[in-house]
Structure 1
């Protein structure tokens, strides 16, 4: 299947941030960097607001400890998933479509094999366990846990309330919503639209007709189990034309500018989010320090 379009996540910049001695001019075409910068090495203004990798691990461990205690109280033995370190590079894959030549040559727009294999996914928990975890029934009616009344939202809901205690209420998807809106605005930016036209002209010269990279990425012909030869050739042309037109650099510069505008326009929400994050981290540290 074609790679998924991602318009959100903590992401990236080939040039420096706008307004800070930038290597790209937000009012005009971005300058060519000294060398190609991998998308995984880029950064965006919203990045600093997300928990760091270590902070995310701390919160995962604190939540797991609270959930296990809650489940034990309900008479259920539960082993939570192992905490996993989030790879920042993984969140950036797909932000600008396909950008890697080797992937284009071998996989086209298909995901690497094995990632979605059924055997890689853990089996769903028993209904009683799922009910205690979430407070929601997913199947037929069954017995309540022997240990007592399930808290609102299940043990996960209880853990979340403990971790957010003392912080202001904020939307759980605030940063992702801001990143999504900034990404949509960046795609409509005149510089990016001009970049799309240059890219379209480039791929047309290689025998492919698409108005923008997403049309190539989302071509329904790629909805197959394995990439075809034409899919791979299209993907190679896509990446080559992104490089020759500096599309990713231009797109990235616009993304930075629109994220900065979004942050400035939602400063009160951002401040509440940062206060809530600080409270969550402080609560998480207390949970882990308690025996």
Structure 2
């Protein structure tokens, strides 16, 4: 909205985004229900296997509302103005969140409770005819094929069943949450500052967009 408004003020009344909008779903909308915690959901296992849902093709970008040096200069300037107006929360806070998340994942993978549940899962999978020592092996094994196969669907269904039987997901997420709570407590001051920075950024964005909509 900021770039569109800026370009129209610069004299390009027909400018409507020039391909700024994407039709693709966000990554988490096509995430697999499988991971180190096993496979969540027999319905997904029966239809997806270990291949993610197919994402819709992006809409073709509309033709630019102008061309030439004047247009290019305005577009660069409007992009710069929008970036300056929006700003961003301090990078150090985001880096801290990423680092703490990675630490929690590493700690969870090495936790004795998770390792025991994973061994139970592995025994169940072996008995079902799909030997694997860890759930992460299965996506790597089957995703090399371009399309989902009946054998892959059978393995995914067994994965979902063994995940439920071993309670791997229940153990894994409970352990992960425990480690994350500890890390949050140890880094409460820095995380609180980052949370407030993000809230301030959201409030600023809301004010900017409201002003553009009103204009």
Whether these two folds match at TM > 0.5 is yes
Q: Distance in 1 between matches of 2:180 and 2:191?
A: 12
Select 1:121's aligned residue among 50, 58, 63: 58
CA RMSD of superposed structures (Å)? 3.6
Query: What's 2:123 paired with?
Result: 201
Question: Residue 150 in 1 paired to residue 76 in 2?
Answer: yes
- TM-aligned CA distance change 1:224 to 1:127, over 3 Å: farther
Q: Would you say the 8 A contact 1:128–1:143 is kept in 2?
A: no
Give the greater-gyration-radius structure (CA). Answer: 2
Q: Would you say the 8 A contact 1:98–1:109 is kept in 2?
A: no
Question: Residue 78 in 1 paired to residue 5 in 2?
Answer: no
Question: Residue 211 in 1 paired to residue 133 in 2?
Answer: yes
Deviations 1:145-185 (A, max 9, x none): 3554824xx71x543432347x6554556544533432232
Select 2:171's aligned residue among 242, 250, 272: 250
- TM-aligned CA distance change 1:71 to 1:227, over 3 Å: same
Select 2:144's aligned residue among 223, 238, 242: 223
Q: Would you say the 8 A contact 1:163–1:279 is kept in 2?
A: no
> Is the helix fraction higher in 1 or 2?
2
Q: Distance in 1 between matches of 2:93 and 2:70?
A: 31
Question: Residue 68 in 1 paired to residue 4 in 2?
Answer: yes
Give the alignment of 1:94-133 within 5 angstroms.
94=34, 96-112=37-53, 115-117=54-56, 120-123=57-60
Gaps of 5+ in 2: none
- TM-aligned CA distance change 1:122 to 1:204, over 3 Å: same
Q: Distance in 2 between matches of 1:205 and 1:227?
A: 23
Q: Distance in 1 between matches of 2:137 and 2:25?
A: 33
Query: What's 1:45 paired with?
Result: none
Q: Distance in 2 between matches of 1:212 and 1:281?
A: 40
Q: Per-residue deviation at 1:272?
A: 2.3
Question: Residue 261 in 1 paired to residue 195 in 2?
Answer: no
Q: Distance in 2 between matches of 1:260 and 1:211?
A: 29
Q: Per-residue deviation at 1:248?
A: 0.5
Gaps of 5+ in 1: 1-64, 130-141
Deviations 1:86-118 (A, max 9, x none): 898877844535311122223321223xx335x
Query: What's 1:162 paired with?
Result: 85
Moved more, 280-289 or 201-210: 280-289
- TM-aligned CA distance change 1:125 to 1:83, over 3 Å: closer
Q: Distance in 1 between matches of 2:125 and 2:7?
A: 56
Q: Would you say the 8 A contact 1:203–1:210 is kept in 2?
A: yes
Q: Distance in 2 between matches of 1:85 and 1:223?
A: 23
